[in-house]
Amino acid sequence: MLKKPRLLTALDVLAALVILIAAGLVFFYAPVEQMMGQVQKVFYFHVGTAWVGMLGFMVAAVVGILYLRTEKEVFDIAGLSAVEISLVFFLVAIILGSIWARPIWNTWWTWDPRLTTAAIVELIFAAYLLLRSGVDDPGKRARFSAIYAIFGSVSVPLTFISIRLLRTIHPVVIGSAEAASQGGFNMGPRMKVAFFFSLFAFSVLFADLIWHRIRLGRLQSSVNELRIQAYEKES
Amino acid sequence: MKTFLRSVGAIVWKDLKTEWRTRENLSAMLVFALLVILIFNFSLELDLRARESLAGGVLWATFIFAGTIGLNRSLAVEKDRGCLDGLLLAPVDRSAIFVGKAIGNLFFMLLVEAIVLPVFSFLYSISVFQPGFLGVVLLGSIGYSAVGTLLSTMVVQTRTRDILLPILLFPLTLPVVIAAVRASQGFIQGLPLNEFTVWINILVAYDLIFLAVAIMIFDYILEE
């Protein structure tokens, strides 16, 4: 338990490596987009971080269900890990998106379905952490947070659909509906390579981080157990 | 099924009876709702043109804020006086407890709405007495009180229960807010029905999905 698995160390190295290669591809291999210029390069890591956020969101829901079915502590720790990672990466994705949106859309923020849904997921996960900190009994805490994660995973798709409908029914006021003027573009082959490699790199990073976080959580709970044992021996 | 309905009925009846004796919860919700309308009136400058386009939003914001107060109290009372343990000891299905509490909460929410709506329509001369509009109010309130009841059962068992409910509840009920506001707006502005049936569909879908999930999951909340 205490010893770090070899495979994890290998994964650390791999994650660092692929992220470096992805950055290299983005800056030196992928061409500069003609209309948008350098700022378009944000896109590769923006989608990558948002993808990690999504992965965390889905993992949180799945391990939530698994926890309720099996009551194994590891699923609770996995849920917390997924939520923490998702929270950080969605935040990074939103910030990167804003950096891109400012010159392209001429605004930091719009109430577009994807932006709004990312923000809602942030709020739900912040609420998740607040809920956790409000419950002392570990079993109850695990159950409640699993339930809340499941509820979130049911509600967020409905929110996304609702906002998307709102946009299609509602006339587009700012900017025309044409994809190009909203910052859409066609990826050339080299861009595609950089794009898919970044996605892959961030997936590896996600796997690495969640493994570390789960391991940390398990170490934490075994420290707690040891502490209780030591306390009992003393008294 | 029959015993299920009977236990649900008993729980609803108990809630109505205790509420009727004090009327604490209901009057608090009501006064709060009227205050929210008052605040909106001055913060939004609801002139004639703005009323038409904002009425739906103002109404639902009012219902939702007032609903939170009711939900918080409804379960806090159970917890404080040890009634929740009594309910758990009773030989009834756990989901009957959930359905009973949810119906009770829904009832109080509808009661408040039944008083707020005429006041609102009197103050702003907006016609809200259309069957379709009242249907939207019902659908929105069902979804809201179902999710709210489940979450508040959870929240009363936490340390931070006074502040936690709205934080947990609001992000999850966003689809209800969006859809209910749009559909209400459609009726208030007298748009043709086919322009906003989609919102009514979303409300129905939300209600069905969350009722089903809540009934499946409720057992885990009251496990001891």
Write the pLDDT tens digit of every residue in B129-142: 888 899 999 999 99
What is the reported pLDDT for A183?
61
Mean local confidence (pLDDT), B56-78: 89
Domain ranges of chain A: 39-234
Integer-rounded Cα Rg, in Å, for chain A is 21
**Which of A150, A152, A158 lies nearest to residue B206, judging by beta carbons?**
A158
Distances (CA, A) of B129 to A55, B121, B126, B196: 46, 9, 9, 18
CA distance A53 to A59: 10
The b-or-e profile of A30-44 (16+ CB within 10 A means b, else e) is beebeebeebbbbbb
Q: Please give the full DSSP string across B172-194, using - where no structure is assigned.
A: HTHHHHHHHHHHHHHHHTT--GG
CB contact under 8 A, A162 and B167: no
Contact yes or no for A77/A218 (Cβ under 8 A): yes
Return the number of CB contacts < 8 Å for A and B.
89
Phi, psi of A33 (to 5 degrees): -70, 140
What is the reported pLDDT for A172?
46
pLDDT-derived band at B91 (thresholds 50, 70, 90) equals confident
Phi, psi of A37 (to 5 degrees): 75, -150
AA letter at A26: V
What is the reported pLDDT for B105?
93
Integer-rounded Cα Rg, in Å, for chain B is 18
DSSP letter at A184 equals -
> How many domains does chain B divide into?
1
Contact yes or no for A161/B205 (Cβ under 8 A): no
Model pLDDT for residues B9-37, shown as the tens digit of each residue = 988 998 889 888 888 888 889 999 999 98
Retrieve residue B57's tokens.
Answer: 């939003």
Those residues of chain A that have pLDDT short of 50 are 171-178
B172 touches chain A (CB under 8 A): yes
Nearest to A26 by CA among A5, A40, A7: A40
Retrieve residue B112's tokens.
Answer: 């408040």
Task: For B168, name the nearest residue in chain A, comparing CA atoms only.
Answer: A127
CB contact under 8 A, A136 and B157: no
In the numeric block, the tokens 């009057």 are attached to B27
Domain around B136:
2-221
Q: At what angle do helices A138-169 and A113-133 cross, to 10 degrees?
A: 160
CB contact under 8 A, A158 and B159: no
B129 touches chain A (CB under 8 A): no
Model pLDDT for residues A74-99, shown as the tens digit of each residue = 999 999 999 999 999 999 999 998 88
**Which of A130, A144, A162 lies nearest to residue B167, judging by beta carbons?**
A130
CB contact under 8 A, A143 and B217: no
DSSP letter at A66 equals H
Nearest to A152 by CA among B109, B105, B168: B168
Contact yes or no for A133/B145 (Cβ under 8 A): no
B162 touches chain A (CB under 8 A): no
B135 touches chain A (CB under 8 A): no
The pLDDT of residue B48 is above 90? no
pLDDT-derived band at B54 (thresholds 50, 70, 90) equals confident
Contacts of B183 (CB under 8 A, 6+ apart): B136, B196, B199, B200, B203
CB contact under 8 A, A135 and B159: yes
What is the reported pLDDT for B128?
79
CB contact under 8 A, A134 and B167: no
Task: For A145, name the nearest residue in chain B, comparing CA atoms only.
Answer: B154
Contact yes or no for A151/B172 (Cβ under 8 A): yes
List residues bridging with A177 in a β-sheet: none
Q: How many CB atoms lie within 10 A of CB B26?
A: 18
- How long is chain A? 235
Q: Is the pTM of this model over 0.80?
A: yes
The b-or-e profile of A149-172 (16+ CB within 10 A means b, else e) is bbbbbbbbebbbbbbebbbeeeee
The pLDDT of residue B224 is above 70? no
